[in-house]
Amino acid sequence: MFSVFPEASVQPVEHWNEPLEVVWKPATWDPMTGVDHAEVLLFSADLPALSAEVECANVLAETFKSCFGPETPSSVSKLVECIADSSTYKVLSITRLQNLARYSMHKQLGRGYGIRSARQVYHGTTKASASTIAKVGFRNAVSQRALFGKGIYAAANVWEALAYAEPEAYSNVQTFLVADLLQGPTRVGHEQMIDFGRDLSNEQILTATNPQETIFCAAYENQLYAHYSITVRFLAEREHLPSARKIVGGWYHPAVWSLINRPLPGH
């Protein structure tokens, strides 16, 4: 017995009617002469200048939308400040991931399965793993989670993804990926599920989820393409207010949770 959810529609798949041999490339990418992949630093809290103000602002506004009220700040500096004040997390860097082969394979899978739209999801990881994914894409072989099926996991919101992002020792810096998911037909999964089956229309089910639809397990590696790697740090030196906990929704990595419950100096 399973539930079938409608496919989310966030970003249209470009060049749907182009020939199969067309190689896609987002308009925001920098030139990649002589290389097959690139990691382009767009924003760093340690640098005064930005190389892509509008692009970074759009990424932050969508990723951390729970931090903003009726009016979302338009500048990156204001967005970063608002995120820190609202959630007690400071955004440290945004890196664009450019991998022409993996991106093209992602688009080809969408065409092959007739998926015309993608939804934005988040994948908590480590800095080293994020760099590996930038080079070779997601890999089922390294996935250790199987609560709702065997596959690649991502979350519908950034806070749930960060709960699975192992902080770096001493610095408490966490890394997560902003990715597109070609979701397709979807069902509620169960532990260790391998064959996701077919839906009521006899379409192959590509994605398993939890009953709340906050976690997604993709059957195929190329269903996901990571566009950005973002690093953040929990501001342990600040008082963590109940309002911040409400925004985050209670999703904290155990190491961060221990910092929250640690008495502040002078208290």
CATH code (residue 101):
3.90.228.10
The reply to whether 185 falls in a domain is yes
What is the count of structural domains for the chain? 1
Q: Which of 49-58, 101-110, 124-133 has the lowest mean pLDDT?
A: 49-58
Q: How far apart are CA 121 and CA 267, in angstroms?
A: 38
Supply angle C-alpha 109, 175, 138, rounded to 5.
25
The reply to whether 214 falls in a domain is yes
The reply to whether 267 falls in a domain is no
> Can you tell me the mean pLDDT for 76-90?
96
Q: What per-residue confidence (pLDDT) applies to 196?
A: 86
Tokens for 216, please give them: 């997604």
Q: What per-residue confidence (pLDDT) applies to 85?
A: 96
Question: In the predicted model, is pLDDT for residue 21 greater than 60?
Answer: no
Dihedrals phi, psi of 164, to nearest 5 degrees: -110, 5
Q: What is the CA radius of gyration of the chain?
A: 19
The pLDDT > 90 percentage for the chain reads 63
Amino acid at 116: R
The reply to whether 253 falls in a domain is yes
Q: Which of 11-15, 25-29, 87-91, 172-176 has the lowest mean pLDDT?
A: 11-15
> Can you tell me the mean pLDDT for 245-255?
93
The reply to whether 265 falls in a domain is no
Q: What is the pTM of this model?
A: 0.88
Give the C-alpha distances (Å, rounded to integers) separating 109 from 98, 189, 253.
18, 22, 33
The reply to whether 164 falls in a domain is yes
The reply to whether 26 falls in a domain is yes
Residue 36 belongs to domain spanning: 4-260
Handedness of CA 118, 8, 111, 3 (dihedral sign): positive
pLDDT digits (tens, 9 = 90+) for 25-79: 888 999 888 888 999 999 999 886 677 899 999 999 999 999 998 889 989 999 9
